[in-house]
Structure 1
Amino acid sequence: MAAARAVRRRVARIAATLFALLVSACGQGGPGRDATAAGIARVAGLDADPSTGAVRDLQLYRRDDGKPGPLFVYIEGDGLAYLDARTPSSDPTPADPMALRLAAADPGPAVLYVGRPCQFAPGRTDPRCTLRDWTTGRFAAQLVAALDEAVSRERAKAPARELVLVGYSGGGVMAALVAARRSDVALVITVAAPLDVADWTRRLGLSPLAGSAFPLNQAERLSQVRLVAFAGQKDETVPVASIASAVATLGPSATLVVVPAFDHRCCWVRDWPRLRRLALGE
């Protein structure tokens, strides 16, 4: 019993330390959040590769060890888009970049992480960014084009690799929208992503995302791509129903995987190697 209590105390201390680091990163503003991301990438052997694009400047991290296998492209979530239900943030850079953590946990040979437009240092200094880009217009066609451009540039470096797009939360919506524009995507994996955006905003009582593109508006094109949608059974941020309805619309090419006990954040990173294998059918 004493040993068990000691373990619980140690876990509690670690959790408190991680929480303090996240609070510190938020308090330091964007540069502190940049440093958090750089540290995650450095430990995982992901090299910083900022992209100056025709549409938006993006923060990229990449790794390619030259061994055979697919290229996994990870697209970040919406980040710190709002400070509360009504107050937009002045900087959407995530305090804890979940898609980057998933990329860091990827055991494959080739990984590309793509920050969303207006996130991190490249986006923060991009004069083309406006508040709308991370609020009502967060899924706008021009922002999808910015991500698609970055994917194409990286794809040209390794054209023989299969292309897999992975998106966390709002990044999953963007992954689906990018896939609908392309003909070379072998698989889309979404993690806690509100693929039925209209259903999601209705369920949560959110304002409609005017100016955004929705995956289900391109269902015919997207249904030609294999898609695996992970949902957390206890996720209150993105309810399972807002994912299940999209999967039903997309038909047999799409698969819904509801993970018991998971919510919007727990425990995707911890179990990512296993879930990745499941999505690949390994």
Structure 2
Amino acid sequence: MPVKSFPLMGLFLFLMGCVVSPTLSLDAKAREWGMTRKVIPGAEFRHVVYTHHFGQPRKTLHVYLDGDGSPWINRRWISRDPTPRNPLALRLMAQDSVPSVYLGRPCYHGLANDPPCTPQLWTYGRYSLRVVDSMAVALTHLLGADNFNELVLIGYSGGGALAMLLAERLPQTVAVVTIAGNLNPVAWARHHGYTSLWDSLNPSQQPPLNPVIFQLHLLGGRDQNILPSMVRPAVSRQKHAKLHLLADFDHVCCWWRIWPSVLAALHLRDHPMVSETMLSH
């Protein structure tokens, strides 16, 4: 190796050492916001969860499901750690004053080397039956351990798909909220020219949810990732659901600004109140 390459190699190693993994970064944010980290069993997999306000005598549990994170690097290489680098769902949960849990997916949050994890579970099978079933078992464990009997499922981006898929499996579900939710992965992949998520379930092709479940679907008018044309058909099939479009919001910005108002409307199961909140932004 030429001598002149050593400074470059040293710089590369230095920069690599300065990079904080998404798992460690998310852990730090959770601690900063007063959350407690646990690892709980699912069906086939372990799940990292972060709990908040679990000491309160409440019967309802809010469950936050984050986006897909980084399954791929530059759309070419499979990521070794798909954990979200910008955990928006965690940030929203920090504003929630009722008992809440941030439920990690199989193989995320530093568990990618757990058996039987394979990259399939965060790439083409990120919404697969195995993933959904394991998350459902993990939630059932939390419900039983802490005596909750109602679930509110809150999903951001790809977490919106999982919220819909989990709701049909968990009879304790009383409400579903999606934020920029990927409710039709087939249409999403086709629009962006991505390889189909061929091993994943498609919420838009599942039977409608129980009509007693209150559904609130939020979407940004400037979102270039999830478009209204992908979401509207999926929402229109549901019995107690409404899509609210915020003209000046995109895929990331600025959901935390309205989150307290959304939570208040959610508590009352009040679509008109949500509409008023949307009009004020």
TM-score (norm 1): 0.83
Q: Does the 8 Å contact 2:43/2:138 carry over to 1? A: no
1:115 and 2:104 aligned: yes
Q: Does the 8 Å contact 1:25/1:33 carry over to 2? A: no
Q: Distance in 2 between matches of 1:120 and 1:27?
A: 19
Which residue, out of 179, 191, 207, partners 1:219?
A: 207
**Match for 1:236: what amino acid?**
Q
Cα deviations by residue, 1:162-215 (Å, 9 ceiling, x for unpaired): 210111110110111011112110001111111122222222222221111111
- Larger % of strand: which? 2
Q: Displacement, 1:70?
A: 2.3
Give the match for residue 256 of structure 1.
243
Cα deviations by residue, 1:60-109 (Å, 9 ceiling, x for unpaired): 0112131436210111210111112333212101112121111112122x
Matched residue of 1:90: which SS? Answer: coil
- Larger % of helix: which? 1
- Across the two proteins, how many residue pairs are aligned to each other? 254
Q: Distance in 1 between matches of 2:16 and 2:262?
A: 29
Matched residue of 2:265: which SS? Answer: helix
Query: Residue 241 and residue 190 in structure 1: after superposition, are their counterparts in 2 closer, same or farther (change >3 A)?
Result: same
Cα deviations by residue, 1:127-159 (Å, 9 ceiling, x for unpaired): 211111111111000100111011101111343
Which residue, out of 51, 74, 99, partners 1:84?
A: 74
For residues 27-176 of structure 1, the aligned pairs below 5 Å read 28=19, 32-63=21-52, 64-68=54-58, 70-108=60-98, 110-121=99-110, 123-176=111-164
Give the match for residue 9 of structure 1.
none
Q: Does the 8 Å contact 2:112/2:118 carry over to 1? A: no
For residues 182-261 of structure 1, the aligned pairs below 5 Å read 182-221=170-209, 225-250=213-238, 252-261=239-248
Q: Distance in 2 between matches of 1:100 and 1:266?
A: 14
Larger Rg computed on CA atoms: 2
Q: Displacement, 1:38?
A: 1.7
Q: Distance in 2 between matches of 1:222 and 1:133?
A: 28
Q: Does the 8 Å contact 2:208/2:237 carry over to 1? A: no
Q: Displacement, 1:59?
A: 0.9
Q: Displacement, 1:225?
A: 2.7
Quote the RMSD (CA, aligned, Å): 2.2
**Match for 1:40: what amino acid?**
K
Structure 1 unaligned regions, length at least 5: 1-23
**Match for 1:219: what amino acid?**
P
Q: Does the 8 Å contact 1:103/1:111 carry over to 2? A: yes
Further displaced range: 185-194 or 81-90: 81-90
TM-score (norm 2): 0.83
Query: Residue 132 and residue 224 in structure 1: after superposition, are their counterparts in 2 closer, same or farther (change >3 A)?
Result: farther
Matched residue of 2:47: which SS? Answer: coil
**Match for 1:183: what amino acid?**
P
Q: Distance in 2 between matches of 1:214 and 1:91?
A: 24
Q: Displacement, 1:223?
A: 5.2
Q: Does the 8 Å contact 2:125/2:197 carry over to 1? A: yes
Q: Distance in 1 between matches of 2:250 and 2:61?
A: 27
Query: Residue 183 and residue 236 in structure 1: after superposition, are their counterparts in 2 closer, same or farther (change >3 A)?
Result: same
Q: Does the 8 Å contact 1:69/1:161 carry over to 2? A: yes
Structure 2 unaligned regions, length at least 5: 1-14, 274-281
Cα deviations by residue, 1:221-259 (Å, 9 ceiling, x for unpaired): 455532111111110011122111210122x31111112
